[in-house]
């Protein structure tokens, strides 16, 4: 296990920031299987890999139970390969049966979504009747819990197939709820799994903008849990940027007494009170906490529209957003909309390239806190939980680094949510209704507005409404 201090404090190498990659050829042809290939991520992640220098022969196997979306994505990936100049090196296959194509995969990328958009309104509207106001509702709270209860059993079936068909593959998970997914995998599977999000990359760049500092000069550390990781170190030329930022944030929050003004208020407010900036958007973050969504006046003061905290934002946006995404793909296929021609900061292609070329590359990944053969990565968070920390990707695979203790107040916030994830993951593993009830009883937002009787009634109502997608729960 690597020590955090040996890796520096920026999340990308210079090459990654320039979206180029490492020099040299890949040492072997690759097979990468994309699960849930009809998702938003597939085109972007394959485009990233297609732009990795020295790409050898590649078999890209696409899997999705929606045959129509799968067929469109296969054609789109073939178009990306052609436009990227690697058409002669890439073979794109597709199947609705994962077991027919997973065999021999070096990497599995999971982007599955169980139930599509069928449960979005249940996840949002039933809790809303009990007073639980959600913005995104797909990683914590009632919506996140039930997305996990639907998704984790399917995820574990995928991992069991992987143990049989490609046991040496590294599994790169992009599916939410991230913490529950990775925790359940760590408790039940022998596969090497890392959960990947882009909130660390996005927020580190945002902080450089807030501080008016060139990103490459930013010196930082970040650790916690997914969507609730803290930039505990944020320096420029040896000096902390937080005194300057706190003054800015105080002014922004003072102005935000007018609900029509201000942005990203929840994160700025949390930074003032707890001492560091957090990775996820203000809207999403507000669901992880008991402070911001429990009364209409508080919600109006600190939350804004869209990702800044809009009520029912995801439930109202996602069904139409999915349709738009499908329409955009058709425009790309017809040449009416351009394809990306550069690598993104999504971690998947950088991990694959770093491992294959044995080049050290730093990412932030979601892994079990108690690493194999060692102690906890974050010492004052639950040792049986899942954390988001800096990891080294190289020829040895994914190697989490030891962070040590978080500041106590930050650890307390993370630990509060980790108890929800603990119970939720176990509820999905055991398909237990009672454990699911207890998970929601521990949820910070839900417990801030509901009684125990109300939480139980709400959970059972959600189970009844989504029964079609929750087989085997007792």
Active site residues: 198, 288
Q: Helix 120-129 vs helix 313-333: angle between axes, to the nearest 10 degrees?
A: 170
Query: In degrees, to the nearest 5, what angle opens at C-alpha 58 toward C-alphas 55 and 61?
Result: 145
Q: How far apart are CA 405 and CA 412, in angstroms?
A: 11
- Whether the CB-CB separation of 168 and 133 falls below 8 Å is answered with no
Question: Strand pairing of 58-63 and 170-173?
Answer: unpaired
Per DSSP, the three-state class of 193 is: strand
Phi, psi of 237 (to 5 degrees): 55, 45
| Residue 270 neighbours by CB under 8 Å, 6+ apart | 277, 278, 285, 289
**Element at 156 (helix H, strand E):** helix 141-165
Q: How far apart are CA 276 and CA 269, in angstroms?
A: 10
**DSSP for residue 461:** H
Query: In degrees, to the nearest 5, what angle opens at C-alpha 110 toward C-alphas 429 and 182?
Result: 40
Q: How far apart are CA 34 and CA 64, in angstroms?
A: 9
How many Cβ atoms are within 10 Å of 431's Cβ, its own excluded? 16
Residue 40 class from Cβ within 10 Å (0-12 exposed, 13-18 middle, 19+ buried)?
middle
- Whether the CB-CB separation of 22 and 359 falls below 8 Å is answered with yes
Give the length of the chain.
Answer: 474
Hey, what are 355's tokens?
């491992």
CA dihedral 367, 414, 305, 339 (to 10 degrees): -10
């Amino acid at each position: 296990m690597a020590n955090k201090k040996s890796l520096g404090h920026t999340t990308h190498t210079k090459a990654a920031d320039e979206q180029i990659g490492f020099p040299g050829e890949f040492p072997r042809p690759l097979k990468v299987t994309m699960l849930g290939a009809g998702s938003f991520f597939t085109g972007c992640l394959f485009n990233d890999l297609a732009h990795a220098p020295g790409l050898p022969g590649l078999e890209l196997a696409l899997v999705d139970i929606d045959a129509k979306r799968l067929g469109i994505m296969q054609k789109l990936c073939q178009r990306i390969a052609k436009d990227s100049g690697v058409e002669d090196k890439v073979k794109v296959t597709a199947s609705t049966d994962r077991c027919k194509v997973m065999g021999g995969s070096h990497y599995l990328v999971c982007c599955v979504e169980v139930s599509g958009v069928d449960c979005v309104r249940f996840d949002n509207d039933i809790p809303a009747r009990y007073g639980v106001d959600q913005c995104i509702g797909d990683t914590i709270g009632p919506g996140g819990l039930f997305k996990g209860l639907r998704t984790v059993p399917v995820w574990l079936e995928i991992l069991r197939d992987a143990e049989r068909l490609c046991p040496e593959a590294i599994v790169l998970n992009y599916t939410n709820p991230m913490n529950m997914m990775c925790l359940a995998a760590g408790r039940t599977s022998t596969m090497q799994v890392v959960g990947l999000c882009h909130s660390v990359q996005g927020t580190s760049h945002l902080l450089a903008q807030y501080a008016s500092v060139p990103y490459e000069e930013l010196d930082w550390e970040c650790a916690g849990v997914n969507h609730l990781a803290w930039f505990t170190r944020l320096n420029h030329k040896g000096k902390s940027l937080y005194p300057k930022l706190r003054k800015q944030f105080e002014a922004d929050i003072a102005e935000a007494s007018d609900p029509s003004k201000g942005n990203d208020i929840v994160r700025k407010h949390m930074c003032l009170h707890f001492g560091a900036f957090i990775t996820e958007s203000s809207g999403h973050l507000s669901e992880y906490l008991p402070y911001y969504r429990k009364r209409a006046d508080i919600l109006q003061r600190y939350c804004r529209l869209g990702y800044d905290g809009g009520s029912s934002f995801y439930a109202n946006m996602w069904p139409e957003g999915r349709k738009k995404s499908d329409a955009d793909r058709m425009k790309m296929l017809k040449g009416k909309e351009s394809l990306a021609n550069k690598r993104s900061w999504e971690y998947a292609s950088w991990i694959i390239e770093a491992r294959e070329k044995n080049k050290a590359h730093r990412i932030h990944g979601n892994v079990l806190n108690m690493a194999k053969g060692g102690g906890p990565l974050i010492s004052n968070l639950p040792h049986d939980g899942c954390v988001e920390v800096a990891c080294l990707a190289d020829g040895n695979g994914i190697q989490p680094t030891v962070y040590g203790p978080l500041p106590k107040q930050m650890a307390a916030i993370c630990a509060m949510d980790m108890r929800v994830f603990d119970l939720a993951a176990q509820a999905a593993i055991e398909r237990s209704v009672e454990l699911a009830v207890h998970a929601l009883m521990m949820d910070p937002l839900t417990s801030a507005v509901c009684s125990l009787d109300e939480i139980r009634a709400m959970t059972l109502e959600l189970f009844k409404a989504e029964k079609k997608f929750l087989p085997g729960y007792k």
